[in-house]
Structures are given as C-alpha cells and as structure tokens.
Amino acid sequence: MPQGASVSGPRRLLRRLRDVMAGPGAAQRRLDQVVRIIAADMVAEVCSCYLMRSGQVLELFATEGLKPDAVHRTRLRVGEGLVGHIAAYSRPLNLSDAQAHPLYAYRPETGEEIYHSLMGVPILHGGRVVGVLVVQNKTPRHYDDEELEALQVVAMVLAELVKGGELVDPRELVDAEAAVAGPEILDGLPLVGGLALGTAVIHQIRAEIGELVAEDPAEERRRLVLAIATLRDDVDRLLAAPDMAGQGDHRDVLETYRMFAEDSGWLIRIEEAIGSGLTAEAAVARVREETRARMNQVADSYLRERMLDFDDLANRLIRHLSGGGAPARADTGAEDFILVARAMGPAEFLDYDRARLRGLVLEEGSHTTHIAIMARAFDVPMVGRVKDALSRIPAGETVMVDGERGRVVVRPGEEMRRAFGEDVTARAARQEVYRELRDKPARSLDGVEISLNINVGLLVDLDHLDETGADGVGLCRTEVPFMIASDFPDVDSQTALYRSVLDRADGRPVAFRTLDIGGDKRLPYWPTVAEENPAMGWRAIRVGLDQPAILRQQLRALIRAAAGRPLSVMFPMIASAEEFAAARHLLDRELARAAERGAPAPEVLRVGVMLEVPALIWQLPVLLPELDFLAVGTNDLLQFLFASDRANPRLAGRYDLLSPAALSLMRDVVGQCAAAGVELSVCGEAAGQPLRAMALIGVGVRGLSMAPARVGPVKMMVRALRVEPLRHYLESLDRAAPRDLREGLASFARDHGINV
C-alpha cells in the first residue's frame, strides 16, 4: 500500500462486505469476492485468506494478487512461516519488510517474492484460530493502527463464513478415533468424586449474532446499557434460587461472577468496538474472541480459567441483546444426562436441571475452577482435562463418568455396564462400611490410636467433618478462597471466613496454614513475574515475610475469628529457623495489638511449621523447642528431596514415599519430634493412600490429614492393623535394602488381611 493512501474506515468496508456475505452463490465464490473487496478498499496489492485444515495445516483458500494456481495448493503448518506464526500465537503481525524476517517461508508457486510489506491477523472462532487473513504490498511500509483495526474487524466477519462449514467440513477436524463404534476410554483429571451413568448432552453456546454492521453507534450503546442492566437482574435471579440460599463457596462464586458483570474494563472495550461500526452483539463477540486469544497465551492456568466467567457473561449479554432474554432451564430431553463441554461458567451450570444432571466432562478445568466448586457443592461427579472430549463424545451417546479415577467411558458395552453397576454397588457398600466406622476410633488391633484429620480449602469441604467422623482439620489451605475472589480480601472479609471455618468445625481442632500464594498459585489481582522454577520460587512464607502487611492482616483476622477459642497456625515453606522466628515475631505483634484493643486472646494458641524444605531437617534441634506441632507436607518435601517435579508425568516413578531414603527421613523426623515432645502429623497426599499411610504408621507417625474421601479407607486399614509387627517388618525390609518397599508392604497387608 503506498504511503499516504486514503484508507476507508472499517464501517464502510463492513457495509460493502455485508452484501457479499448475505448474497447467493457458493461460499468459495463469496470468499473470492471478499478478498477482492478488501484489497481494493485497503489499496493492497495482495489480500489472501488461509484456512485451517486437519493436521494443523493452513491452506491458501482465496487470494487477490498472488498466482491463482497457488489456491488450494499452498499449505503451511502452524508455526511455519509468517502465516503459521500468526496462527500459532493468535496475534497480528505488521512488517515493513517481511522477507527479512527470520520466519519468512518462500513458496515459489505464489509469486510473492515481489511483495515486501505484510500485515496479517488471525481469524478466530470459539477462541481458536480457524484461519489467517493477510494483505501485502510491494513498497516496504508499516501499516497504521486504523488499517490493522479494519483487517481485524473483517477477520471477524470471515469467521462467520468459515463456521458455516461450507468451506471446510467441520468433520475433517474430528479425530478419526471418534468414529470407532466400540467402547472408548478417555482419561482426565478427577475433580469431583463419584460414579455416574447417563446420556451425553453437549453444552452449546446459545448466543446467536444477527447483524454485524451497525448504522447508528449511539443506538447500539443505548441497547448495550439496557442489556447490561437486564444481565445483572439475571444474575440476581440465579442468586435467589432456593438451592443457593445460605452461605457457601458456591454462592461466593456467583457473587464473584456478579462483580465480573460490573467490570468497567471489558465494558469500555465493547463500547470502543461499537465505535468501529459493529452492532452491540458483534462488539461483545469481538471483545470475547480477542480476550480468549490473549488468555490462551497466558501460562497461568488460574488466570485462563477466569476467562470462563467472561465467556459466560458475554454469551448471556449477547442473548439479551438479540432478544433471547434470560436462558430458561436447559431442556436436555434426557432423564439422566452427562454434560460435556470445553469449559463452563458457574451461571451456565445453574441453567441445567440439577435433579437430572448426573456428571460433568470438560476438556479444561482444575480443582479451583468455579465450575468445579459448583459441582462439588452439588455433589456432581466431574472429570476435567479430557482431551478432545467434544469431538470424541457424540451427543446422545451413553457415557460413564468415574470421578474417583478420572476416567470417562463412551459407548460402554454390556460387560462394562455390568461392571459399572457392580462398581456402583461396591462403592455404595464401601460407603456404608465407612459410615458405620464414622463414630468408631481409628485404633489399631494392638491399641495404637491414630488421629485422622481432613484437608480443606473451601467452606463446603467442612461438611465432610461430620460425614467422615474425622478428628479435625489438619490442614486448612487459606489461599483457596483468595484464588476465587476478584480482589484481595480485607481483614473483615478474612475474619468472617475464618470464623465460619471455626464455627463449622464446632470445637474440633483446625490448623490454619498461612497463605501459600506465589509460584504456581497466582492471584488474578496480584502482580506476578514468571519464574523458571515456581515451586521453589517466591511463594508462601517468602511472600509473607517480604510483604509483612499481607501476613499481618491474615494473622489479625485469625486472632479476631478465634475470639477466645483455640487457634492453631502453621507457617508454610519454612527453610530456616530464622524464617520461623521472623514469622512468629509478626504473630506476637498481632497478639499484642489485639490485647491493646481489649480483644480476647485465643484460649489456646498452637504454633507450627510445615516441613516441606529438606534443609529444615538439619535445623530441627534448634527449631523444635519453639514449636507446638510440626506438619510434614510430603508433596513438596519429596519432590525437593528427589529433585523431581511431581507435575511432570515422566518423573512420576522417580520419587516415592515407599523408598528407603524417604522412610528413613520420616523415621528420623519422628524420633526428633518425640524427643522434643512436639506433635507430628503428615498432611500430604501420601497420608490418604492406605498403603503409604500404613508405612507412615510403621515408622511412628500418629497423625494423618487427607482428602475427606480418603478417611474411610485409611480408618478401615488402621482398624485391621497391628502396629508392632508392622514396625518389625519394616526394620527387616530396611536391612534387606530393597529399592522399593511397595511389594513387601503389599505382601504384609495381604498376609494380615488388611485392605489397602
């Protein structure tokens, strides 16, 4: 494009394209017309459209300026060349000399060697790249912001043409395995325990956009204001539902969702998009697509998960704008159904009939997603991170969900259904046995008492105290509520939260771990810097000591919440006795502050430390006299001990509690704590696995804290165990020095009738 050329705004270009898009003829012919119009309107010598094909390949589908024979012949892999680079990163590219760029890939059949300047933008649909739109000119120049804006708006229009399926058959992108007629097992991440069987219902985004181009921006802004007001009423209606009454994490999630609806940032971006010539509906969709593409490049999974709330809000807003109103409760047509989705927002979940919803299967998701919190509150089994679930689970198919193992079975055969029925029966029988054990002590056959506690992160988790008969809360992860909030909770908010925890515990002990934020636990409102090794980075007590106001506010809230009741506080990620002394000093200052104001002190104050950093083991002789209790966090301790990232599946077998080194370390810690008279517990994942818990008991551990679902199995193991013979057996295994103690322990359990 020559310097100083007159460029029309996106509104005029959109009007010209609208007639072509709505006109008759094949989609290919219309696409050919579109690239010609764009080239003419933008005074570009080349305009080309590449569309995504199966195998992550971009194919040249239409061009004005390049050689016609290159159409449907030129292909680039995602990441290959400049076009592939735009697709790989979902970002525009604006180059005055494209051929000088190191990623430039020359295709002789196109004849593009005479063109120097290049501007390209991704064509986005559903947050995913479905193509790339490019303009080129012979003269080297840098395209201005208005030109880039015009091309991005046009790309959005093209996405509507692509999604119609006339250019690329959507089935082409479906994994061939989806056509298999027999049973198919899909693995994922277990998020909410339980078993479910039902008919697959695909969660569809029910938000249609009619007109894309607007003639009157002022009228579109007026419509937007009215729709936002209606949207807020819609969220209030959800909050007023009978099963949302009272307090709980599921209600907190929806309250946070309502705050997102009032966020000024995304509303301003929508108004700016309206100013470019789009209707209000199209403006909302454009902001949604741009945000999706941007968030897809963010490494922080928590921040990406918050995009689900904005997706949900955008879809609801589009429905209100298009006259659809608030969505009625979704009619799935199935008595028992399994909901399948890429991802979901909390309000979308509430649109479905929870009396018939049996399970959830998502392509995304984690334990801290808002949808997981809602599913947990309503006891809906859920499996997340099921790769290609939408393409591999057809609507109407029978689906089995195993929320315990993180497994989904599509089209289960008769034998699988029979096995599923047996699993359901067996699980019900086990649950009945666990219920019968609820009020019985976790006491071994030779009279050794084991304290069984639960780990909690949300208020809803405390309901399991009564269900399991646990002795108390061995680990309260205080950072989880911070991770689902939209802003940093102040002292009053924290006080109310901790008071609720103590109230629900009803006199049973609760060990509050101070904030373990930082590293991979990022807060959306907290500035963070990417770290190469986040697990060993600026996190937990390191944040608290470097930002003492944060730690002091939390300690102040804990003291207020206790209000004369017993209080147990433990500090995470302590690496030295000096760090503990500094943290304890801040606690003492807050105790003195409370006393000065006449506030009641905790009836009993117990202060402890999480043993997660191996260096602390050699400082225990100095540290233990200052502690009331020590809690071993095996998750971090073992990964640091064996220099193995526990999140890396390739290293899963390279660190294990059931190894001589790990059990020798635990035996040493047990001995030091016993000599100092300090209570010891283990609150990592190993505590909830019966075989590993048995090994811990064998080396002298008498306190275990675990996920609520694991209390029953571990208690059943304890009540069938004789500790003294186990201790002698472990000592004999130590002398034999096997690399892995697992088989020996499993043999011991079988020989003594212990279910592990």
The answer to whether 749 and 756 are in contact (CB under 8 A) is yes
Cα 28 from Cα 33, distance rounded (Å): 9
Q: Is 683 a catalytic residue?
A: yes
Query: Per mean pLDDT, which of 69-78, 487-496, 552-561 is the most reliable?
Result: 552-561
Q: Quickly tell me which residue has 């061009």 as its tokens.
A: 63
Structure confidence at residue 729 (pLDDT): 92
What is the pLDDT, as a whole number, of residue 327? 47
Tell me, what amino acid is at 123? I
Which letter, b or e, does each residue of 659-672 get, where b requires 16 or more Cβ atoms within 10 Å of its Cβ? beebbebbbebbeb
Over residues 223-249, the mean pLDDT reads 72
User: How many separate helices (H) and strands (E) can be counted in the chain?
Assistant: 26, 22
Q: How many CB atoms lie within 10 A of CB 568?
A: 24
**Among candidate residues 448, 440, 456, 462, the one with its CA nearest the CA of residue 716:** 440
Give residue 176's pLDDT: 32
With tokens 């294990």, the residue in question is 656
Q: Name the residue with tokens 């006259």.
A: 323
Which H/E stretch holds residue 320?
Answer: helix 301-321
Cβ proximity of 391 and 170 under 8 Å: no
pLDDT the model gives residue 110: 94
What is the C-alpha to C-alpha distance for residues 673 and 620, in angstroms, rounded to an integer? 8
- Taking only the tens place, the pLDDT of each residue in 344-403 is 777 678 778 878 899 999 988 776 677 887 787 778 999 998 988 888 888 888 899 998
Least trusted range by pLDDT, from 273-287, 302-316, 603-617: 302-316
Question: Is the pLDDT confidence value at 614 over 90?
Answer: yes
452 vs 102 pLDDT, higher one = 452
Whether 329 has a pLDDT exceeding 80, the answer reads no
Measure Cα distances from 707 to 16, 463, 501 in Å: 60, 12, 16
* pLDDT, tens digit, 9 for 90 and up, residues 43-71: 899 999 999 887 778 999 999 999 999 99
* 3-class secondary-structure state, position 456: strand
* Selection from 266-280, 558-572, 643-657 with the highest mean pLDDT: 558-572
All domains of the chain in start order, with CATH: 10-173 (3.30.450.40), 180-203+333-428 (3.50.30.10), 217-321 (1.10.274.10), 438-751 (3.20.20.60)
* Three-class secondary structure of residue 331 per DSSP: coil
For 331-340, the pLDDT digits (tens) are 456 688 999 9
Question: Is the pTM here over 0.85, yes or no?
Answer: no
Q: Give the model's pLDDT for residue 577.
A: 95
pLDDT band at 563 (very low <50, low <70, confident <90, very high): very high
**Who's near 414: CB < 8 A, 6+ residues apart?**
none
Find all residues with CB under 8 Å of 64, minimum gap 6, and list them: 35, 36, 38, 39, 46, 47, 48
Is the model's pLDDT at 74 over the cut of 90?
yes
- The distance of Cα 26 from the centroid of its chain, to the nearest Å, equals 42
Contacts of residue 575, defined as CB under 8 A and 6 or more positions apart, other chains included, come to 613, 615, 616
Helical segments of 470-576, H only: 479-484, 491-505, 541-546, 548-562
What pLDDT is attached to residue 458? 75
Cβ burial of 728 (10 Å; 0-12, 13-18, 19+) is exposed
Q: What is the mean pLDDT of residues 154-163?
A: 82
Of 46, 50, 45, 69, residue with least CA distance to 60:
50
Q: Rounded distance, CA 597 to CA 307, Å?
A: 43
* CA separation for the pair 315, 209 (Å, rounded): 10
3-state DSSP assignment of residue 507: coil
What is the pLDDT averaged over residues 178-195? Answer: 74
pLDDT greater at residue 28 or residue 343 = 28
State the chain's maximal CA–CA distance in angstroms. 91
How much is the pLDDT for 559? 97
Cα distance between residue 130 and residue 55, in whole Å: 12
- Quick one: pLDDT band at residue 607, thresholds 50, 70, 90? very high
Task: For residue 595, name the pLDDT band (cuts at 50, 70, 90).
Answer: very high
Where does the pLDDT of residue 722 fall: very low under 50, low under 70, confident under 90, or very high at 90 and above?
very high
* pLDDT at site 390: 84
Specify the DSSP element, H or E, that contains 38.
helix 27-41
The model's confidence at residue 461, banded by pLDDT at 50, 70 and 90, is: confident
- Strands, DSSP E only, in 601-718? 605-611, 629-632, 679-682, 703-706
**Helix (H/G/I), strand (E/B), else coil: 6:** coil
pLDDT tens-digit series, residues 8-22: 456 677 777 877 776
State the pLDDT at residue 263. Answer: 66
Average pLDDT of the segment spanning 239-261: 61
458: left (phi over 0), alpha (psi -120 to 50) or beta: beta
What secondary structure, in 3-state letters, does 662-689 show?
HHHHHHHHHHHHHHHCCEEEECCHHHHC
Catalytic residue (choose from 370, 464, 585, 673): 370
> Helices 217-239 and 264-275 sit at what angle, rounded to 10 degrees?
150
pLDDT at 183 over 90: no
Report the percent of the chain where pLDDT is more than 70. Answer: 83
Give the chain's mean pLDDT.
83
Cα separation of the two ends of the chain: 73
> In whole angstroms, what is the distance from residue 400 CA to residue 407 CA?
8
pLDDT at residue 564 tops 70: yes
**371-403: burial string, b at 16+ Cβ within 10 Å, e else:** bbbbbbbeebbbbbbbeebbebbbeeebbbbbb
Q: What gap in Å lies between CA 615 and CA 638, rounded to an integer?
A: 12
Structure confidence at residue 524 (pLDDT):
60
Q: Report which of residues 346 and 273 the model is more confident about.
A: 273
Nearest to 388 by CA among 363, 369, 408, 417: 363
pLDDT band, residue 237 (cuts 50/70/90)? confident
DSSP 411-444: S--HHHHHHHHHHHHHHHHHHHHHHHHTTS--B-
Place 713 in a pLDDT band, splitting at 50, 70 and 90.
very high
Q: What are the tokens at 590?
A: 């807050």
641-644: list long-range contacts, CB under 8 Å, 24+ apart. 641/614, 641/665
3 state DSSP class of 646: coil
Residue 169 CB neighbours (<10 A): 11
- Average pLDDT of the segment spanning 567-590: 96
